[in-house]
Amino acid sequence: MKQTLLDMRSIVKSFSGVRALNGVSIQLDRGEVLSICGENGSGKSTLMKVLSGVWPFGSYEGEIFFEGNLVRASTIRDTEALGIVIIHQELALVKELSVMENIFLGNELGSFARLNDEEMHRRTSELLARVKLDVLPDTPIRDLGVGQQQLVEIAKALNKNVKLLILDEPTSSLTTTEIDILLNIVSELKQQGIACIYISHKLDEVLALSDWVTVIRDGDHIDTKVAAQLTQNDIISMMVGRELDELFPREEHDIGEVVLRVKHATAKQAGATRAQVEDVSFELRHGEILGIAGLIGSGRTELMQCLYGSYDGDYEAEIELEGRIINIRSQRVALEAGIAMVPEDRKRHGIVPIMSVGRNITLSVLGQYSSWFGAVNEDKESNDIDDYIEQLKVKTASADLSIKNLSGGNQQKAIIAKCLLTHPKILILDEPTRGIDVGAKYEIYKLMFALVKQGMSIIMVSSELSEVIGISDRVLVMHEGRLKGQFDYQGLTQEMIMNCAIKEGVANV
């Protein structure tokens, strides 16, 4: 009889009175893979923090049994000693050190006076072979790609004699090939009897990999089912608690005259030989959603930075907004001209984490509420904040709550609210739904259509091809800084975009 490896019984965890987990139970046997699905903010990461000892024993209700014993961990070290290893989305490797040094960091072999490099070298080679990573143990981490680093993390976990491996959104920044390699490794570890908890928004991976799927919503344990009996739609409707009629709620809207003309946009880092954006020209129409696709590094983001005045190198472009030539030299000029942007990196460029939701929303337009000596009219400000929180359905207990406590999707809505308060004519969305759950994505799409119906124009950069096709009216494809193709959404397929984005040669510009 197989012994249950992990048994978490009705875990309840509250933060200042708010229940983040409301009686979640999961069981897992050796060599099984359990996927946990839920929207951002549903309690997945809290559950993993309870399991891995970030929240110590006693700070939650319920019991955790591992190999039949009650877990009383007070730090991550304690759970790692038991064989529970969590690999976070943000990798915890020291970039300057080698693969070997990272794998043995904190567990170095040898005596205090002298490290046993030969043995560590040998063990590292073995571990790398197990995760099928073909690099030398002495390679510095910074020379490896994200996917390879991910594998080093797994090798590190194997070195600690892992019995339960937790992967938190491991594939969100990987290429398709890297994802395949990672999924293969997990399947092989499974054969070796290692159990795995897999957290991902990518439901195709979830279904391909798991034995069980657990769905959590608002801290409640919705259900745990055998993966083989589920479809993606089943999982989605369990996650959002309602049937989604479709993933992309396209709505009819009128497209008008050209509002923005960009000619010969070129952007180059100081001293670089190759331009990041090279001679790109395009037009944007009134009420249009223009999708921009291309691989990472194709110059999509840099092109948007030129339009918003936030590119940090040298750039030139002839930009004509509503027939008027404008020189966008800073973000302020862009905002005053009527161009607002939701940046790609939400944490770095989007939010001021320690400030409240409300104050983040009004940061761009404080001048609107200020008297001549700069005093902020907080009545007027609160009214606007309340309005936009309601309109955009930002889920927050209060506008005074620190924005870092919100889920990614709600932070994103708050940033969009910040942009909308500037009453832009053109809204640039750079990867608007990255790392955001299905429900919030759907709401953001709905909002985008509502905005273009009101006459706004939207430029959306996205790596998700289905999203580009599902939402845009027209799609531009970029490749190595140049504009390589232009398509109408009707009849457009993902293959067409990929072909255009990858292959050399000029398509129908």
Partner 1 sequence: MFKTIKTSQLQLFAMLAAMLLIVVFFSIATDGAFISPRNISNLIRQTAIVGVLAIGMVFVIISAEIDLSVGSMMGLLGGIAAILDVWFNFPILLTVLVTVVAGLVLGLFNGWWVAYQRVPSFIVTLAGMLAFRGILVGLTDGATVAPTSSSLAIIGQSYIPSGWGISVVGLLCLGLVAKVYARRKARKQHGVENKAAKFEYAKAFVAVVVLLVLLYALESYRGIPTPILIMGGLILIATYVAKRTAFGRRVYAIGGNIEATRMSGVNVERTKMLVFGFNGMMVAVAALILTSRLGAGSPAAGNMAELDAIAACVIGGTSLAGGVGAVFGAIMGALIMASLDNGMSMLDVPTFWQLIVKGMILLLAVWLDVKTKKAQ
Binding stretches for partner 1 (CB under 8 A): 16-17, 310, 331-332, 334-336, 341, 343, 348-355, 359, 363-364, 366-367, 369-370, 373-376, 378-379, 382-383, 386, 398, 400, 418, 422
**Least spacing, CB of residue 409 vs partner 1, in Å:** 18
Q: Of the two residues 82 and 355, which places its CB atom closer to partner 1 in the complex? A: 355
CB of 75 vs partner 1, minimal distance in Å: 13
| Nearer CB in complex with partner 1: 243/390 | 390
We find the least distance from the C-beta atom of residue 362 to partner 1, in angstroms, to be 8
Beta carbons of 216 and 42 less than 8 angstroms apart = yes
> Which parts of 201-323 are beta strand (E)?
212-217, 220-226, 258-268, 277-285, 289-294, 314-321
Tokens of 147: 């996917």
The residue among 138 and 386 lying less far from partner 1, judged by its C-beta, is: 386
Q: Cβ distance 41 to 5 under 8 Å? A: no
Nearest residue (CB) to partner 1, 59 versus 231: 59
3-state secondary structure of 505: coil
Q: How far is the CB of 345 from partner 1 (least distance, A)?
A: 9
Kindly tell me which of 154 and 351 has the beta carbon lying closer to partner 1.
351
User: Between 295 and 355, whose beta carbon lies closer to partner 1?
Assistant: 355
Quote the CA–CA distance of 128 and 99 in Å, as a whole number.
Answer: 9
Q: Pick from 420, 424, 429: which is nearest to 343 by CA?
A: 429
3-state SS, residue 465: helix
Question: Based on CB atoms, which residue is closest to partner 1, 126 or 386?
Answer: 386
**Token representation of residue 296:** 């990472």
Grouping H, G, I as helix, E, B as strand and the rest as coil, residue 138 is coil
In order, the DSSP letters of 26-67 are EEEETT-EEEEE--TTSSHHHHHHHHHTSS-TTSSEEEEEET
Query: In whole angstroms, how close is the CB of 366 to partner 1 at the nearest point?
Result: 4
Sheet (strand 18-29) strand order: 18-29, 4-15, 61-66, 69-70
Q: How far is the CB of 276 from partner 1 (least distance, A)?
A: 19
Which C-beta is closer to partner 1: that of 270 or that of 375? 375
Smallest gap from residue 369 Cβ to partner 1 (A)? 7
H/E stretch holding 80: helix 76-82
Angle at CA of residue 408, ends 199 and 389, nearest 5°: 145
CA distance 481 to 429: 19
Whole-number minimum distance, CB 57 to partner 1, in Å? 17
Angle ∠(407,408,410) on CA atoms, nearest 5 = 70
CA distances to 259, 309, 359, 416 from 419, rounded to whole Å, are 19, 15, 13, 5
Q: For residue 210, which of 227, 224, 222, 225 has the smallest C-alpha distance?
A: 227
Closest separation between CB of residue 164 and partner 1, Å? 27
Nearer to partner 1, 173 or 362 (CB): 362
CA-CA-CA-CA torsion sign (497, 499, 501, 507): negative
For residue 397, CA distances in Å to 393, 394, 405, 416, 447 come to: 12, 10, 10, 19, 21
Could you give the C-alpha distances from 455 to 58, 449, 451, 452, in angstroms and in order? Answer: 55, 10, 7, 5
Q: How far is the CB of 344 from partner 1 (least distance, A)?
A: 11
Whichever of 139 and 331 has its CB closer to partner 1, that residue is 331
Q: Which is nearer to partner 1, 191 or 398 (CB)?
A: 398
User: Is the CB of 18 or the CB of 450 nearer to partner 1?
Assistant: 18
Cα distances (angstroms) measured from residue 310 to each of 317, 330, 343? 13, 6, 10
Closest CA to 177 of 147, 140, 141: 147
Smallest separation, CB 365 to partner 1 (Å) = 9
Give the nearest distance from C-beta 19 to partner 1 in angstroms.
14
